[in-house]
């Protein structure tokens, strides 16, 4: 099980993914127009849903004695197909360049990296103030 600190980190990644999605939408709109900006935002939402699904399924397939977790394991792997299908649907429905969707889907990666940097600075400053 993840401790309280881990839950806080995961919550921060969810929030930062949403922030990067909205900020990217706001930045993309004046540069490329509404439809590519919407594609970016929808890509970020797909990334957020994938992040949630990753957390849910990783808890679901955690080992418990005597339980078969075959469907959860298949669902864990098939989420990549869902990512691809979501991106494909966004591109086809909006008729936009796939780049906006792909960059939007990378917002969770940017959120994870930003969260790691925040944690490093938190540890650095809490260690230096406790000495």
Domain ranges of the chain: 4-130
pLDDT at 31 over 70: yes
> Backbone dihedral region of 7: left (phi > 0), alpha (psi from -120 to 50 degrees) or beta?
alpha
Burial of 69 (0-12, 13-18, 19+ CB in 10 A): middle
Task: Tell me which of 80 and 24 has the higher pLDDT.
Answer: 24
Cβ atoms 48, 17 nearer than 8 A: yes
Q: Which of 32, 48, 49, 31 is nearest to 96 (CA)?
A: 32
Threshold 0.85, pTM exceeds: no
Query: What is the Cα 86 distance to its own chain's centre?
Result: 14
- Both tokens of 56, joined, read 């849910």
Of 8-12, 36-40, 87-91, where does mean pLDDT reach its minimum? 8-12
pLDDT on residue 1: 47
For 77-126, write each residue's pLDDT tens digit: 787 888 889 899 999 999 999 999 999 999 999 999 999 999 999 888 88
Percentages helix, strand, coil for the chain, rounded to the nearest 5?
85, 0, 15
Inform me whether the pLDDT recorded for 67 exceeds 80. Answer: no
């Amino acid at each position: 099980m993840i401790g309280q600190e881990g839950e806080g980190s995961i919550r921060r990644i969810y929030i930062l993914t949403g922030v990067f999605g909205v900020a990217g939408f706001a930045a993309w709109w004046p540069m490329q127009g509404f439809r590519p900006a919407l594609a970016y935002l929808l890509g970020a939402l797909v990334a957020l849903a994938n992040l949630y699904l990753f957390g849910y399924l990783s808890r679901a397939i955690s080992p418990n004695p005597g339980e078969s977790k075959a469907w959860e394991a298949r669902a864990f792997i098939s989420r990549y197909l869902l990512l691809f299908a979501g991106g494909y649907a966004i591109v086809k429905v909006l008729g936009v360049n796939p780049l906006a969707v792909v960059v939007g889907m990378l917002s969770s990666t940017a959120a994870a990296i930003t969260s790691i940097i925040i944690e490093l600075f938190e540890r650095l400053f809490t260690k230096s103030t406790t000495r």
